Structure 1
Amino acid sequence: MTANKVTEKEEPQRFGLESQIKRNPHPDFKKVERERPPFEKDAEWHYTQIPNKDWQVGTGANDSSWTEHKKVSIDPYGEGRNLVDNYKLLIGAITPRPIGFLSTISKEGVTNLAPFSFFTLVNNEPPVFAIGFSCSKANPKDTLRNILETEELTVNIISEWFVEAANFCSTDAPHGVDEFKLAGLTPIASEKVKAPHVGEAAFSVEAKLYQAPQEFNSKVVPNKVTGTLVLVEGIQFHVREDISNESFNIVDISKLKPVSRLGGISYGRTIAGYERLRPDFKKDVVTDEAAKPLLD
């Protein structure tokens, strides 16, 4: 479906998403937080069984309660649909999202530090990371501006022991303000790029721009850029010695304690998991008598 073309002047309520997003869902956030249970500092990473340890080929969902509800079909550009509603729906449903804590340095030598949850690893050889910016190259945020000018950055993973400081780096500070200082975090000199990496981070990656950024155009306002995709290549890794093995190819999740992004202003902890082997088709399907009817 092609969206009807309009202008920002004709339908202003659909645009200026940043100004429409209500970051604080609570009338008094500090009061709400004080009334919640304390942070469970002693909670440790542990494994549980998978929901259905006896699951068999063709069994489907481990819980049938999904059949009690219907899916509502939504046209993201339907009449009366505000674009900010799409944003809220997407960040609430596409979770948990890893956070790229990006350090950059301007051509004038001022460092910048900001978290991005439109971020992920997309290739391992070469190591390539994708970062989404809700701005254009012509009107970039500080991080994007610095990447465009220097083609360098560092990617840092946020852990529980500095989540408050990392969150503070999402502030709308004016251009030229050093978030390292505001947050009280430690810049560590990198080896192959000018941008420092975060000392508190247990895993950091020095990176360079991989290819020219790709801009995304609005479906409703001709020639309006709504976002920019940047691919960067990791060229040097920094891993804290105690969170990995001697070969530095396995990470101890119980020590990394990564923080993920959820919907709204929520963050997620990673303190439990379960394992499941990747199925081998010949072994687990072809030789399984119960599975053979599914191949017909």
Structure 2
Amino acid sequence: MMYTKKDIEQLDRITRLTIINSVTGIKPANLIGTIGENGTTNLAVFSSVVHLGSNPALLGFICRPSTEDVGHTFQNIQATKEYTINHIHPEFAKNAHYTSANYDANISEFERCNLSEEYIPNFKAPFVKESTFKIGLRFKEQMDIKANGTMLVIGEIEHLILPDSGMVDDDIDLEASNGVGISGLNSYYSLKKIERFPFVRLHEVPDFKK
């Protein structure tokens, strides 16, 4: 099967979204938690979280432009400068998925989707209590992507909370922490570790032709 650019453009919207969202393979499944200036919490599922650097520790995610009706996540980040990224686990993957509906700004997805808010001292944004692997971030900057009107939202890690079982030999083991991945718009996958290779040094590269 092969799709040309023209073929892709002629697909119906949902089919095109599903296919193009799947071509990168399995992506991390996360819930981003925020709180508005009026105290209403917001929770939304994202599969676009990426590592941008380790010193400082920066993560980014892709966000659609905000309007009065959608984009409450970024509106809240702009207002409070803090947000959380919470790994999704199989036990609440269904609840997490349904946070993607376009709820009114005065409705908390935590309450509507039966997920629990959790707070730590001196940090405004809510974590997801059901998640065992969660990150608290402070907003640093946004980068507009002119090609499609989206933006890359960049934050610095201020808090990293994960289970002891999620660390194996000083390495985060996503299978041990029971992480979930997403493909397309609505397909969720469990993660299985297949191997761990050493940090690559040039003189240690095997001769793959043997």
TM-score for both structures, normalised by structure 2: 0.84
In the TM superposition, residue 216 of structure 1 has moved relative to its aligned partner by 2.5
Q: What corresponds to 1:270 in structure 2?
A: 191
Q: What corresponds to 1:234 in structure 2?
A: 157
Q: What corresponds to 2:171 in structure 1?
A: 250
Aligned partners of 1:155 and 1:197 also within 8 Å: yes
Other structure's SS at 1:194 match: coil
Q: Deviation per CA, 1:37-75, whole angstroms, max 9, x where unpaired?
A: xxxxxxxxxxxxxxxxxxxxxxxxxxxxxxxx8xx4733
Aligned partners of 2:182 and 2:189 also within 8 Å: yes
Q: 1:89 & 1:267 partners in 2: Cα distance? A: 15
Aligned length: 208
In the TM superposition, residue 137 of structure 1 has moved relative to its aligned partner by 7.0
Q: What corresponds to 2:55 in structure 1?
A: 125
Q: 2:8 & 2:17 partners in 1: Cα distance? A: 15
Does 1:107 find its partner at 2:37? yes
Q: What corresponds to 1:40 in structure 2?
A: none
Q: Give the alignment partner of residue 281 of structure 1, picking from 180, 202, 210.
A: 202
C-alpha distance 281-73 of structure 1, shift in aligned 2 (>3 A): farther
Aligned partners of 2:84 and 2:137 also within 8 Å: yes
C-alpha distance 262-80 of structure 1, shift in aligned 2 (>3 A): closer
Q: 1:168 & 1:138 partners in 2: Cα distance? A: 20
Q: Give the alignment partner of residue 176 of structure 1, picking from 106, 113, 128.
A: 106
**Identity rate, percent:** 20
Aligned partners of 2:134 and 2:160 also within 8 Å: yes
**Paired AA for residue 141 in structure 1:** G
Q: What corresponds to 1:215 in structure 2?
A: 144
TM-score for both structures, normalised by structure 1: 0.61
C-alpha distance 242-175 of structure 1, shift in aligned 2 (>3 A): same
Most deviating of 79-88 and 110-119: 79-88
C-alpha distance 152-284 of structure 1, shift in aligned 2 (>3 A): closer
Q: Which has the larger radius of gyration?
A: 1
Q: 1:170 & 1:86 partners in 2: Cα distance? A: 18
Most deviating of 148-157 and 136-145: 136-145
Other structure's SS at 2:86 match: strand
The structure that is strand-richer by fraction is 2
**Paired AA for residue 30 in structure 2:** G
Gap regions ≥5 residues in structure 2: none
Q: Deviation per CA, 1:191-223, whole angstroms, max 9, x where unpaired?
A: 342011111111111111111x222234xxxxx
In the TM superposition, residue 279 of structure 1 has moved relative to its aligned partner by 4.5
Matches within 5 A, 1:52-71: none
Other structure's SS at 1:149 match: helix
Q: What corresponds to 1:33 in structure 2?
A: none
Q: 1:138 & 1:230 partners in 2: Cα distance? A: 19
In the TM superposition, residue 134 of structure 1 has moved relative to its aligned partner by 2.3
In the TM superposition, residue 105 of structure 1 has moved relative to its aligned partner by 0.3
Matches within 5 A, 1:142-153: 142-153=72-83
Other structure's SS at 2:45 match: strand
In the TM superposition, residue 119 of structure 1 has moved relative to its aligned partner by 1.6
Aligned partners of 2:69 and 2:104 also within 8 Å: no
Q: Give the alignment partner of residue 9 of structure 2, picking from 51, 74, 81.
A: 81
